[in-house]
Chains A and B, each alone.
Chain A
């Protein structure tokens, strides 16, 4: 029954998406003052649709929880012996399940939009919901016609095949849902942008309605990428935290676009400038989300993320991609000229700095996009090339470095027009920190160029992040400004982690017999013993490694080489020792013919700052949302109070005599 309820809920939700589309479109035809009779259904349709799509997802979750082996998806991706948490997370550890999660989050976002957003004119809201329904309909069709998660097997399987061991990790519980919620949150920004464009309502009021959605999606994307990076770092056992892998780029591209969008929507809300640019970024951000979904879900890439290779599905998503992006850019091209110009501003101004950084972010986006698509295009012509860090690192740094410099100064500038001389003290301070750090690092040793520049920029940005607070009374600084300070400081922290990892990582690789000690920097690493261990669905060789810093106390690390038996696969479980100033990373390898064990250890100074920085950035975003909501609530209260007073006054004033 579970599967049938889920499937029925999905079909009903698809039908409601059609109603939402028609009703939303009808709202556009409303004549001023009166509402079209069909228009009243859009909001309820969106809300009920959200309930149904979430119900469908819960049904699949239940099927995985009880390992219902009569459902094909469960039989091919789960196993009765798996720990409960991985049974549940395994729901989205496969193609169909993860698409159902995508659609569920999409419907939920649409439902929340319909339920919560009351500020926009009804026409704009109708157009927005129509677009949202149109997007949802395409993905319902994709699920129901080509990747039905609830398909039954003619004969129930005796046992499931199991889940890819790399995915049997708590990371699967965090990374995909947050990233998807971020991807899909951008769909709301897209629908709002389309709605505003169709009804010619591109103004600060619209920007204020769009801002929390953009901020929310951006916060979730930031968290999803941070979690994914840390997961890959400890799970893959290579000691790297970013590989410029196409699927990683697929999540980075929407983040870059969303970062630009978030800043530009703030300019629109505060200053009524950058109208068309904001709309374009809204379209671009969701396009990148869908491109990411296409790259990851269509099977054009071979990776741990590509669950199934099925050309039909790839073609389906590609068709959806072309319809939505093509349609959006066509409407944009037709309507952009009708959006009147916003307010003017000088080159040296807060807006100017934001525009510059928007352009730099877009340039980095172009670099990453081309580098990601080039191997795929080449493959279409039967040529095989690989594009890796030698391309991505320098090419993106060329645009990232000026961006970071402007980011340090931008928040200090005034809106509309400013003189550089006014902030000369701050600029000199930032420059001094930058140059001093560069000089110290350059004198300390011979390190690669990019990490050295990264260290200098991190120090300068770390100081610059707090300069907007100078001369202000801290208790009176708005919450949103704290959010900006925190997020910008997070960028500095993250950059410090990346640069420090790149410049100062120490590595030791040796074959050691139990009892042997190797030295690495100030660390003494002793292999104490190697023994077999077993888990619920794996067996492993576990090493006990004692790590001692100088004269300090020894800490035991237990890296494992695991062998899973369903599906049969070997993984390397790294062991981590986290200190405030870095991380010790140990991996055990194979046994050499003479009975020694390969042991690889790294000391990565400040590597954890990469992810702490990511968390700070996300926290900054959360503060910004809180700040905006606070202001909004205050404004509404004040308006209500004003209304009441006016009503009281009207009641007190005697009616004029006739």
Chain B
């Protein structure tokens, strides 16, 4: 094999690997598009039980209850419509987590319809808003969600 041929072979191998990585990333990312759910969507077309997703919305007024163990909280997340998803979370709540504030819960839906959160992203200072909820009213959030979620048409 001549040096020039060898260089071509190397270029082709590198291209194949990097394009492969790109395609794989594109495929995996298109699956990620429905990684973020609003309460309406979760009620309408719930993700598979146990699949890691994010649920974003507002903490419903009057729904926040702490269990007897002192560390497990139950609350409901609402969006634009009637839908309210019960969320269960064990852990230290973010500092500015209160009823009526926006929240993004990371976790998965359980078989009993409760969203088991492993992490809550809420404001940790006056200026910080979870990226997905930044500057959105509930109506806008619902519209945006309809645009971002594939396979709902």
A residues apposed to B, CB below 8 Å: 238, 276-277, 302, 341-345, 355, 358-360, 362-364, 366-367, 370-371, 374-375, 378, 382-388, 390-391, 394-395, 398-399, 509-511, 567-570, 572, 587, 589-590, 592-594, 596, 598, 600
Taking the nearest CB of chain A, how far is it from the CB of B13, in angstroms? Answer: 7
For B71, give its contact among A355, A384, A511, A568 (CB under 8 Å). Answer: A511
Taking the nearest CB of chain B, how far is it from the CB of A416, in angstroms? Answer: 12
Taking the nearest CB of chain A, how far is it from the CB of B29, in angstroms? Answer: 5
| Contact yes or no, B17 A362, CB < 8 A | yes
Given contacts A509-B90, A600-B92, 5 further A-B contacts (CB under 8 A): A360-B17, A384-B144, A387-B29, A388-B52, A590-B92
Specify which chain A residues have a CB less than 8 angstroms from the CB of B29 in the assembled complex.
Answer: 370-371, 374, 387, 391
| Contact yes or no, A386 B4, CB < 8 A | no
Complex CA–CA separation, A600 to B90 (angstroms): 10
Q: Can you offer 24 A-B residue contacts whose CB atoms are under 8 A?
A: A302-B134, A341-B3, A343-B3, A355-B10, A359-B13, A362-B14, A363-B18, A366-B22, A370-B25, A382-B144, A383-B147, A384-B132, A384-B144, A385-B35, A509-B90, A510-B71, A511-B69, A511-B70, A568-B126, A570-B124, A572-B95, A589-B93, A592-B70, A600-B71
The chain A residue with its CB closest to the CB of B69 is A511
| Contact yes or no, A302 B132, CB < 8 A | no
B residues apposed to A, CB below 8 Å: 1, 3-4, 6-7, 10, 13-14, 17-18, 20-22, 24-26, 28-29, 32-33, 35-36, 52, 54, 66, 69-71, 90-93, 95-96, 106, 119, 124-126, 128-129, 131-132, 134, 144, 147-148
For A509, give its contact among B7, B22, B35, B71 (CB under 8 Å). Answer: B71
- Counting chain A CB atoms within 10 Å of each CB, which of B1, B66, B119, B131 scores highest? B131
| Contact yes or no, B69 A391, CB < 8 A | no
What is the interface of chain A mostly: helix, strand, loop, or mixed? mixed
| Contact yes or no, B18 A359, CB < 8 A | yes
| Contact yes or no, A385 B33, CB < 8 A | yes
| Contact yes or no, B93 A590, CB < 8 A | yes
Taking the nearest CB of chain A, how far is it from the CB of B147, in angstroms? Answer: 5
Taking the nearest CB of chain A, how far is it from the CB of B64, in angstroms? Answer: 12
| Contact yes or no, B32 A387, CB < 8 A | yes
Specify which chain B residues have a CB less than 8 angstroms from the CB of A386 in the assembled complex.
Answer: 32, 35-36, 54, 131-132
Complex CA–CA separation, A567 to B36 (angstroms): 32
The chain B residue with its CB closest to the CB of A351 is B10
Specify which chain B residues have a CB less than 8 angstroms from the CB of A592 in the assembled complex.
Answer: 66, 70
| Contact yes or no, A390 B32, CB < 8 A | yes
For A385, give its contact among B1, B32, B96 (CB under 8 Å). Answer: B32
Specify which chain B residues have a CB less than 8 angstroms from the CB of A398 in the assembled complex.
Answer: 24
| Contact yes or no, B92 A277, CB < 8 A | no
Specify which chain A residues have a CB less than 8 angstroms from the CB of B95 in the assembled complex.
Answer: 570, 572
| Contact yes or no, B6 A596, CB < 8 A | no
| Contact yes or no, A384 B25, CB < 8 A | no
Complex CA–CA separation, A509 to B70 (angstroms): 10
Specify which chain A residues have a CB less than 8 angstroms from the CB of B126 in the assembled complex.
Answer: 568-569
Taking the nearest CB of chain A, how far is it from the CB of B73, in angstroms? Answer: 10
Known: A277-B10, A344-B6. A388 touches B144 (CB 8 A): no
Complex CA–CA separation, A277 to B7 (angstroms): 10
| Contact yes or no, B54 A593, CB < 8 A | no
- Counting chain B CB atoms within 10 Å of each CB, which of A343, A386, A590, A594 scores highest? A386
Complex CA–CA separation, A276 to B10 (angstroms): 11
| Contact yes or no, A383 B144, CB < 8 A | yes
Taking the nearest CB of chain A, how far is it from the CB of B25, in angstroms? Answer: 4
| Contact yes or no, B14 A359, CB < 8 A | yes
Specify which chain A residues have a CB less than 8 angstroms from the CB of B125 in the assembled complex.
Answer: 567, 569-570
Specify which chain A residues have a CB less than 8 angstroms from the CB of B70 in the assembled complex.
Answer: 510-511, 592, 594, 596, 598
Taking the nearest CB of chain B, how far is it from the CB of A305, in angstroms? Answer: 12
For B17, give its contact among A342, A359, A598 (CB under 8 Å). Answer: A359
| Contact yes or no, A383 B17, CB < 8 A | no
Taking the nearest CB of chain B, how far is it from the CB of A585, in angstroms? Answer: 13
Taking the nearest CB of chain B, how far is it from the CB of A417, in angstroms? Answer: 12
Known: A378-B148, A384-B144. A391 touches B18 (CB 8 A): no
Specify which chain B residues have a CB less than 8 angstroms from the CB of A344 in the assembled complex.
Answer: 1, 3, 6
Specify which chain A residues have a CB less than 8 angstroms from the CB of B22 in the assembled complex.
Answer: 366, 370
Taking the nearest CB of chain B, how far is it from the CB of A159, in angstroms? Answer: 19
Specify which chain A residues have a CB less than 8 angstroms from the CB of B6 in the assembled complex.
Answer: 341, 344-345
Specify which chain B residues have a CB less than 8 angstroms from the CB of A596 in the assembled complex.
Answer: 70
Specify which chain B residues have a CB less than 8 angstroms from the CB of A511 in the assembled complex.
Answer: 69-71
Specify which chain A residues have a CB less than 8 angstroms from the CB of B92 in the assembled complex.
Answer: 509, 572, 587, 589-590, 598, 600
Taking the nearest CB of chain B, how far is it from the CB of A121, in angstroms? Answer: 25
- Counting chain B CB atoms within 10 Å of each CB, which of A238, A362, A387, A572 scores highest? A387
For A366, give its contact among B18, B32, B54 (CB under 8 Å). Answer: B18
Taking the nearest CB of chain A, how far is it from the CB of B1, in angstroms? Answer: 7
Complex CA–CA separation, A572 to B96 (angstroms): 12
Taking the nearest CB of chain B, how far is it from the CB of A517, in angstroms? Answer: 15
Specify which chain A residues have a CB less than 8 angstroms from the CB of B35 in the assembled complex.
Answer: 385-388, 390
Specify which chain B residues have a CB less than 8 angstroms from the CB of A510 in the assembled complex.
Answer: 69-71
The chain A residue with its CB closest to the CB of B10 is A355
Complex CA–CA separation, A386 to B133 (angstroms): 11
Known: A277-B10, A344-B1. A367 touches B71 (CB 8 A): no
Specify which chain B residues have a CB less than 8 angstroms from the CB of A341 in the assembled complex.
Answer: 3-4, 6-7
Specify which chain A residues have a CB less than 8 angstroms from the CB of B131 in the assembled complex.
Answer: 302, 375, 384, 386
Complex CA–CA separation, A384 to B130 (angstroms): 11
Complex CA–CA separation, A509 to B66 (angstroms): 14
Known: A388-B35, A511-B71. A342 touches B21 (CB 8 A): no
- Counting chain A CB atoms within 10 Å of each CB, which of B28, B69, B93, B95 scores highest? B28
Specify which chain A residues have a CB less than 8 angstroms from the CB of B26 in the assembled complex.
Answer: 370
Specify which chain B residues have a CB less than 8 angstroms from the CB of A378 in the assembled complex.
Answer: 33, 148
Taking the nearest CB of chain B, how far is it from the CB of A347, in angstroms? Answer: 9
Complex CA–CA separation, A596 to B71 (angstroms): 10
